[in-house]
């Protein structure tokens, strides 16, 4: 099935994500969710990143003829049994980046194994096809936040092979190795095959 129009609706209004997606999927016209639906806030009650991404993609696909791309991503800390996991953005009571970081560091107090990974699951829905791809970045959690760039858990995550956190890297360097990029690169190959 080849499509003439290289338009892609993305199930997010997050400007950081949209910028990263536009950069990696250059050659495609990226349409944010708000241009299709004024209010887009489906309940993400899946038990995995891929389930949540599919919930978002399916909800938006009902309102557009174009293929829909959705992602769900977060942090898994091995010593905490994979927490915060799918609750990454709402880990703390108020769900702010600052409160989430504070809770994570408190829960890791006195724990030596600080290994973790960022996970991103991308789901592409077009016609009756559903394609899922995952990207991972492995690393470890610092004792305290470092750096001013990025968002979420970026100030406490040092990827393997680096000595600085995602928040110390700056957007360009971080995006070149991010979990979202890795999942998007896999999706890009699928999109090229669809669009021809």
Three-class DSSP labels, the chain: CCCCCCEEEECCCCHHHHHHHHHHCCCCEEEEHHHCCCCCCCCCCCCCHHHHHHHHHHHHHCCCCCCEEEEEEEEEEHHHCCEEHHHHHHCCCCCCHHHHHHHHHHHCCCCCCCEEEEEEEEEEEECCEEEEEEEEEEEEECCCCCCCCCCCCHHHEEECCCCCCHHHHCHHHHHHHCHHHHHHHHHHHHHHHHHC
7-195 CATH, one of 3.30.365.10, 3.30.450.30, 3.90.950.10, 3.50.50.60: 3.90.950.10
What is the per-residue pLDDT across 99-119, written as a single tens digit (0 to 9) for each?
999 999 999 999 999 999 999
Instruction: Tell me whether residue 128 is one of the annotated catalytic residues.
Output: no
Q: Domain ranges in the chain?
A: 7-195
User: Catalytic one among 71, 72, 97, 128?
Assistant: 72
What is the per-residue pLDDT across 155-190, written as a single tens digit (0 to 9) for each?
999 999 999 999 999 888 988 999 999 999 999 988
Instruction: Note the pTM of the prediction, 2 decimals.
Output: 0.90
Share the mean pLDDT of the chain: 92
């Amino acid at each position: 099935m080849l499509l003439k129009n290289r338009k892609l609706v993305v199930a997010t209004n997050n400007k950081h994500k949209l910028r990263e997606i536009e950069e990696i999927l250059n050659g495609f016209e990226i349409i944010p969710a708000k241009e299709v639906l004024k209010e887009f806030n489906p309940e993400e009650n899946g038990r995995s990143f891929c389930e949540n991404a599919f919930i978002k993609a399916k909800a938006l696909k009902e309102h557009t003829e174009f293929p829909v791309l959705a992602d769900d991503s977060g942090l898994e800390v091995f010593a905490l049994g994979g927490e915060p996991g799918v609750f990454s953005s709402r880990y703390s009571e108020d769900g702010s980046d600052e409160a989430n970081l504070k809770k994570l560091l408190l829960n890791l107090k006195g724990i030596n194994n600080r290994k973790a990974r960022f996970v991103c699951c991308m789901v592409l829905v077009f016609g009756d096809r559903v394609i899922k791809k995952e990207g991972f970045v492995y690393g470890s959690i610092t004792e305290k936040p470092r750096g001013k760039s990025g968002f979420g858990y970026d100030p406490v995550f040092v990827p393997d092979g680096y000595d600085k956190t995602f928040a110390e890297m700056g957007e360009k360097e971080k995006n070149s190795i991010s979990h979202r990029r890795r999942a998007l690169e896999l999706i890009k190959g699928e999109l090229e095959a669809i669009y021809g």
